[in-house]
Amino acid sequence: MANRAREEFTGRIKALFSSGEYSDLTITCGPDTYTVHKAIVCSQSSFFRKAENFSVGKEATEGGIHLPEDDPHAVKLLLQFFYEGEYNPLLPSPDRTDLDEAGKPKLTVLRKPGYHYDFPHTCKPHCPEPAYMVCPHHHCTPKRCGEKCINFICKDCTNAVPPDGDADQLLIHAMMYELADKYDVAGLRHLAEEKFYRSCAAFWNTEQFAIAAEHALVSTPESDTGLRQVLCQTITTHIKLLNVPSIVTLLHKHPDLMYSVLRRQAEELGGLEPMVKTAS
Domain span holding position 34: 2-84
| Weakest mean pLDDT among 75-79, 114-118, 197-201 | 114-118
Query: Domain total for the chain?
Result: 2
The most confident of 25-39, 94-108, 155-169, by mean pLDDT: 25-39
Residue 112 vs residue 190, higher pLDDT: 190
**With the CA atoms of 49, 86, 204 and 256 taken in that order, what torsion angle do they form, in degrees rounded to the nearest 10?**
20
Q: Mark whether 108 and 220 lie in a shared domain.
A: yes
Model pLDDT, residue 279: 47
pLDDT above 60 (res 272)? yes
223 near 190, Cβ under 8 Å?
no
Domain boundary among 50, 84, 118: 84
| Weakest mean pLDDT among 55-59, 145-149, 165-169, 252-256 | 55-59
Q: Mark whether 55 and 158 lie in a shared domain.
A: no
| Predicted confidence band of residue 280 (pLDDT cuts 50, 70, 90) | very low
Model pLDDT, residue 159: 64
Q: Mark whether 150 and 46 lie in a shared domain.
A: no
Which is nearest to 232 in space by CA: 206, 208, 207, 268?
268
Q: Mark whether 69 and 138 lie in a shared domain.
A: no
CATH classification at residue 49: 3.30.710.10
pTM: 0.76
Chain centroid to CA 112: how far? 28
Provide, rounded to the nearest whole percent, the portion of the chain with pLDDT above 70: 86
Cα separation, 154 vs 135, in Å, equals 8
Model pLDDT, residue 57: 45
Query: Do β-strands 25-29 and 64-66 pair in parallel, antiparallel, or remain unpaired?
Result: parallel
Domain boundary among 56, 84, 112: 84
143-195 tens-digit pLDDT: 777 777 888 888 778 765 667 889 999 999 999 999 999 999 989 999 999 89
pLDDT above 90 (res 68)? yes
Cα separation, 268 vs 280, in Å, equals 28
- 176 occurs within a structural domain: no
| Predicted confidence band of residue 139 (pLDDT cuts 50, 70, 90) | confident
Residue 76 vs residue 60, higher pLDDT: 76
Model pLDDT, residue 123: 83
Q: Mark whether 35 and 147 lie in a shared domain.
A: no
Model pLDDT, residue 224: 94
pLDDT above 70 (res 101)? no
